[in-house]
Amino acid sequence: MGKAIKEYIKIAVRNLKTRPLRSWLTMFGVIIGVFLVMTVLSLSEGLKGAVMQQLKMMGNDLIMIMPGELTDIMVSMVGGIELTNDNIKAIEKTEGVDIVIPMAYKGEAMRYQGEQRIVLLCGIPLGESLDVLKTDMGFELIEGRWPKSGKREIFVGYLVPEEIFSGMKVETQIILKGKRFEVVGVLKSVGNKQDDSQVYIDLDIYREITGEREGAKMAMAKVKSGHSTDEIVENIKKNLEESKKRRQGEDLSSFTVISSEKMTDIVGSIMTLIQIVTLGFASIAIIVGGIGIMNTMYTSVHERVREIGIMKAVGAKNKTIILIFLIESGIFGLVGGIGGIVLGLGLAKIVEIYTQSQYLFLLKASITPQLVLFGLAFSFLIGCIAGYLPARSASKLNPVEALRYE
């Protein structure tokens, strides 16, 4: 059977070569479909991986607390809604919370060697939280040292010396709100442009120079070992509700309290959903490619009725005819698939190189042997499925009528 298939492949290839333009056009339809699917799969998988990697940089025992509902998080951020000092104290008092890191953000003008740029300033209590930043939030220096608490020292994200103040070096001075600060460290890239463009400063000094005496845009709480993160999440929510009741008249309606693990799950689900939807749309192109194969195969059967009759007259069985036509349509799928995979993964790689060169996102296109094998098997299968009905109709031809066909 194996040797016979080898011969049938030769016959099928010869038939495809007989009508080269039509064969290439048909395969081009599959190439477009597979190209789209492979690009979407590779990039969405890479994007998901990058996002998940960032989230996983945070330890499992971290809890994020933000004002407002998770569904309206942008409204809360843009609207300037903040956690109050009472809220932060309520979190600190929650049993099982080891440490709370309030995080305040503000856009400020910063001057370096005569150049002025607007940067996003992030105030963090460096004294208490430096260990958490390093061990649980994946902060890592590529140059310099960590700032000392209470000192006018800053450390900057990876892109600050790369893009914002090109050539910025440690142990140099910058000016913020008319005050001099020393740049003491540069962070390793965390993979997204926004975080990599921030300037970090001790929270006390942040409050001093910005005039924001209290509050924070968000807070991170580290759970003490031996406590259940989910349980602490519930306790924090409860304590925040109580702190709200004590301050009647304030309209802060709710808080988002979410563990890093839960956040990873939610983001993972959203990313999967996005993948499915985009893949669904890209798959339409493959279906169109499959219809193209079916159309070509029906035309081919129609044109080769007499040939089919001759093959039957000289001893070809029905299953042989089916096999020859299926191999032809499978070749359309497979060759189209190879083209689509090369182009699709090629484009994904180009996007990866571009985003990394532009520091947009630490996106790494997912190019795995499994993905390539899936692409090949999928496109071959599409070819075979599309070719089955035409092949079956070819095999059902009556040899006498087929031989008479003009």
Q: Is 5 among the residues that bind another protein (CB under 8 A)?
A: no
Q: Is 318 among the residues that bind another protein (CB under 8 A)?
A: yes
Q: Give, in order, the Cα–Cα distances in Å from 130 to each of 43, 95, 308.
A: 34, 22, 78
Residue of the chain from 152, 244, 312, 364 that contacts another protein (CB under 8 A):
312
Query: Which DSSP letter does residue 197 get?
Result: T
For residues 189 and 362, is the Cβ–Cβ distance under 8 A? Answer: yes
Q: Is 351 among the residues that bind another protein (CB under 8 A)?
A: no
For residues 42 and 278, is the Cβ–Cβ distance under 8 A? Answer: no
Beta bridge partners of 153: 182
Residue of the chain from 11, 81, 263, 385 that contacts another protein (CB under 8 A):
11
Q: Is 399 among the residues that bind another protein (CB under 8 A)?
A: yes
Q: Where are the beta strands (DSSP E) in 96-187?
A: 97-112, 115-124, 141-144, 153-156, 172-176, 179-187
Instruction: Please identify, using beta-carbon distances, which residue of 286 and 402 lies nearer to another protein.
Output: 402
Give the binding range for another protein (CB under 8 A) out of 86-94, 191-199, 202-210, 310-318: 310-318
In the stretch 141-180, what mask flags binding to another protein with x, by CB under 8 A? ----------------------------------------
Q: Is 17 among the residues that bind another protein (CB under 8 A)?
A: yes
Residue of the chain from 230, 273, 317, 360 that contacts another protein (CB under 8 A):
317
Residue of the chain from 14, 213, 245, 246 that contacts another protein (CB under 8 A):
14
Instruction: State residue 249 phi and psi, 5-degree precision.
Output: 100, -20
Query: Which of 350, 287, 322, 307 minimizes the C-alpha distance to 39?
Result: 350
Site residue total, another protein (CB under 8 A): 26
Q: Is 313 among the residues that bind another protein (CB under 8 A)?
A: yes
Q: Sort residue 337 into left (φ over 0), alpha (ψ -120 to 50) or beta.
A: alpha
Instruction: State residue 377 phi and psi, 5-degree precision.
Output: -65, -40
Q: Which two tokens stand for residue 118?
A: 């607007």
Residue of the chain from 85, 149, 320, 356 that contacts another protein (CB under 8 A):
320
Q: Is 107 among the residues that bind another protein (CB under 8 A)?
A: no
- Residues of this chain that bind another protein (CB under 8 A): 3-4, 7-8, 11, 14-15, 17-18, 306-307, 310-320, 398-400, 403
